[in-house]
């Protein structure tokens, strides 16, 4: 073949092959601003309309254990499946009541009222008979409180100060006690006036021996006797089966999971559209806009929790179902609760703990401060100046805190009253709750601030996308080999 003709033919073939070669994949989006742009208020509000319709069709609420909650689970799960997610709806059991029994404390032949702290823990048939002893320091929160007092095979009697009933029982059992009596004017069923740390959410799941709560009337005869007493705690639990909804992207590093959650149940008193349909709508729309197979460095797991309004059993049960390595795979947790309050504030959860005060100080794991800065920055980009709100033990990030996982989140406020300063900062009415309809039948789709919801949903999406792209940097969280999670 003529050399020139061969060269020309080779060149033509090369051009032809190049023209048929697949084009390079487009670059991955910068997911923080991209998701913030995609999550628009009309779509978010559309989810609220559907949740309202579900409540209207089911006695006006979507409470855990009700047909309205089940319909909410079905709606969220189907929307995620339609977008290509593999969706799980793991079941868990929660305490929903009691049956039978006649709890009592008998001292020197006289009966006294006692409230059973955990329906899951009962006394033997005929009751628990033992002497009662007290620590040197009445709180009984540490072994040092007992000092030289031995409560081996005795019922420890402590007051209601200083720590949770779980901690009091844990220490007493460590000292050999076979039961515990807590002296308090408040009880688990009437906790008004109790120290805020006494009956923590889901506390009854962590008790291992019979624990009763007595008032000072019963305490007085206990102090006058050295004889054994009889403690009967014989109420039996009634359990309800519920479900969470869990979906995770198929792409991204499964050893570095960005977990995002909102509670799906309403209070029994209303449809729960701001509390917490608004958080559900923002998280669901973020998942739908991100998609099941995004080009992200890290996996994103979306969770919709049951039983938050009751005792955080949904999120707690889920974390307890994970092995330690699976807990370590969770890089951080973002929680979104009440994003459309009608008298809205713009709050980030206090990851840097600048607002935390005793006695309710909640330790935030390393990385939480950076999450707060990311969320605050996203709100500033949305055009509002944020403030931070103290961490609590009464919402679904609490079990994540207990597990040592960095947390963060957004809220527009609930029953707290807006101050004059906050009204000047954000508008609205001072002296009025951020959500006057909190836990009422008026928590409906007509009582949601669309502007606030749009800003908060977009800011939530920004944070999800930012951490889906990268976990390092000044606002990052500990790397995988530096995590040491524990079961909450």
pLDDT per position as a tens digit, 412-423: 999 999 999 999
How confident is the prediction for the chain on average, in pLDDT? 92
For residue 205, the domain's CATH number is: 3.50.30.30
Q: Residue 335: in which H helix or E strand, if any?
A: strand 330-336
pLDDT above 90: residue 39: yes
In a domain, 25, yes or no: no
pLDDT in tens, 307-330: 999 889 999 999 999 999 999 999
Domain boundary among 234, 261, 290: 234
Q: Is the pLDDT of residue 204 over 50?
A: yes
Q: Domain for residue 311, yes or no? A: yes
Q: State whether 478 and 335 are in the same domain.
A: yes
Model pTM above 0.75: yes
Q: Quote the percentage of the chain above a pLDDT of 90.
A: 82
Q: Is the same domain home to 343 and 274?
A: yes
Q: Is 69 in the same domain as 196? A: no
Domain assignment of residue 210, given as a range? 101-234
- Please report, in angstroms and rounded to a whole number, the separation of the first and last CA atoms in the chain: 79
Q: What pLDDT does 11 receive?
A: 35
Domains in the chain, number: 2
Examine residue 23 and state whether it is found in any structural domain, yes or no. Answer: no
Same domain, 88 and 124: no
Q: Tokens 């868990």, residue?
A: 92
Encode pLDDT of 433-465 as tens digits. Answer: 999 999 999 999 999 999 999 999 999 999 999
Residue where a domain stops, chosen among 212, 234, 256: 234
Whether residue 33 has pLDDT greater than 70: yes
pLDDT digits (tens, 9 = 90+) for 267-321: 999 999 999 999 999 999 999 999 999 999 999 999 999 999 988 999 999 999 9
For residue 273, the model assigns a pLDDT of 98
- The per-residue DSSP string of 204-268 comes to GGG--S-EEEE-HHHHHHHHT--S-EEEE---EEEEEEEE-EEEE-SSSEEEEEEEEEEE-PBPT
Sign of CA dihedral 183, 186, 188, 189: positive
Neighbours of 373 (CB within 10 A): 16
**Confidence class for position 488, pLDDT limits 50, 70, 90:** confident
- Is there a single domain that holds both residue 175 and residue 299? no
Q: Kindly report the number of other CB atoms within 10 A of residue 377's CB atom.
A: 18
Q: How distant, in Å, are the alpha carbons of 37, 375, 421, 457 from that of 382?
A: 11, 11, 20, 10
- 90, 104, 225 from 128: Cα distances, Å: 37, 11, 17
Q: In this structure, are residues 204 and 267 in contact, taking their beta carbons and an 8 Å threshold? A: no
Whose structure tokens read 């794991």?
A: 365
Classify residue 13: in a domain, yes or no: no
Q: How many residues does the chain have?
A: 488
Choose the catalytic residue: 175, 285, 308, 309. 308
Mean pLDDT of 151-155: 97
pLDDT at 28: 74
Q: What mean pLDDT do residues 216-223 have?
A: 94
Residues 181 and 266 in one domain: no
| Residues 392 and 405 placed together within one structural domain of the fold | yes
Contacts (Cβ under 8 Å, ≥6 apart) of 217 = 112, 113
Contact of 416 with 433, CB cutoff 8 Å? yes
178 and 74 housed in the same domain: no
Q: Looking at the structure, tell me whether residues 277 and 136 fall in a common domain.
A: no
Q: Is residue 62 part of a domain?
A: yes
- Residue 158, pLDDT > 70, answer yes
Most confidently modeled range among 2-6, 113-117, 197-201: 113-117
CATH number of 40's domain: 3.40.630.10
Query: Residue 162 falls within a domain, yes or no?
Result: yes
Same-domain check for residues 227 and 375: no
Written as six digits, the tokens of 305 are 């929790």
Tell me whether residue 220 is in a domain. Answer: yes
pLDDT interval class at 8 (50, 70, 90): very low
Token pair listed for 394: 């009464």
53 catalytic residue (yes or no) = no
Assess whether 88 and 171 both reside in one domain: no
Q: What is the pLDDT of residue 357?
A: 73
Residue 17 in any domain: the answer is no
Nearest to 456 by CA among 14, 13, 3, 36: 36
Q: What is the largest CA-CA distance in the chain?
A: 120
Q: Which of 201, 234, 267 is the last residue of a domain?
A: 234
Decide which of 357 and 126 is more confident: 126
**Helices first, then strands: H and E counts in the chain:** 14, 19
Query: Are 261 and 361 part of one and the same domain?
Result: yes
Which is higher by pLDDT, 11 or 219?
A: 219
d(CA 152, CA 142): 16
């Amino acid at each position: 073949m003529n050399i020139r003709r061969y060269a020309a033919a080779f060149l033509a073939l090369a051009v032809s092959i190049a023209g048929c070669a697949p084009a390079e994949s487009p670059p991955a989006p910068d997911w923080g601003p991209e998701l913030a742009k995609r999550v628009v208020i009309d779509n978010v509000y559309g989810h609220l309309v559907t949740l309202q319709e579900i409540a209207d069709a089911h006695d006006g609420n979507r409470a855990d254990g009700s047909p309205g909650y089940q319909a909410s689970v079905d709606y969220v799960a189907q929307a995620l499946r339609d977008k290509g997610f593999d969706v799980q709806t793991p079941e868990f059991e929660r305490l929903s009541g009691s049956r039978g029994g006649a709890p009592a404390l008998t001292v020197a032949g006289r009966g006294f009222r006692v409230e059973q702290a955990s329906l899951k823990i009962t006394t033997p048939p005929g009751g628990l008979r033992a002497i009662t002893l007290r620590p040197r320091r009445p709180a009984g929160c540490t072994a040092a409180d007992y000092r030289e007092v031995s409560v081996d095979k005795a019922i420890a009697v402590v007051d209601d100060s200083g720590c949770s009933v779980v901690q009091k029982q844990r220490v007493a059992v460590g000292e050999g006690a076979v039961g515990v009596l807590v002296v308090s004017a408040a009880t688990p069923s009437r906790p008004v006036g109790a120290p805020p740390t006494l009956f923590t959410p889901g506390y009854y799941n962590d008790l291992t021996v019979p624990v009763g709560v007595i008032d000072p009337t019963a305490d007085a005869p206990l102090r006058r006797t050295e004889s054994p007493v009889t403690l009967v705690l014989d109420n039996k639990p009634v359990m309800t089966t519920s479900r969470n909804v869990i979906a995770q992207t198929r792409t991204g590093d499964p050893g570095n999971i960005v977990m995002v959650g909102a509670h799906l149940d309403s209070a029994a008193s209303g449809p729960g559209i701001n509390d917490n349909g608004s958080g559900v709508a923002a998280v669901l729309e973020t998942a739908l806009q991100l998609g099941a197979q995004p080009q992200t460095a890290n996996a994103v797991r979306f969770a919709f929790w049951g039983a938050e309004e009751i005792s955080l059993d949904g999120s707690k049960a889920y974390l307890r179902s994970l092995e330690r390595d699976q807990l370590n795979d969770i890089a951080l947790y973002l929680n979104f609760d009440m994003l459309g309050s009608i008298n809205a504030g713009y709050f980030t959860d206090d990851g840097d703990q600048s607002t935390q005060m005793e006695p309710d100080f909640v330790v935030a794991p390393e990385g939480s401060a950076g999450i707060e800065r990311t969320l605050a920055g996203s709100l500033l980009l949305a055009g509002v100046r944020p403030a931070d709100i103290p961490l609590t033990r009464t919402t679904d990030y609490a079990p994540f805190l207990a597990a040592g996982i960095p947390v963060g989140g957004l809220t527009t406020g609930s029953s707290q009253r807006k101050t004059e300063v906050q009204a000047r900062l954000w508008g609205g009415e001072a002296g009025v709750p951020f959500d006057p309809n909190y836990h009422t039948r008026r928590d409906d789709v007509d009582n949601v601030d669309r502007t606030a919801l749009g800003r908060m949903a977009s800011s939530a999406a920004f944070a999800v996308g930012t951490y889906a792209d990268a976990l390092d940097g000044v606002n990052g969280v500990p790397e995988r080999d530096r995590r040491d999670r524990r079961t909450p």
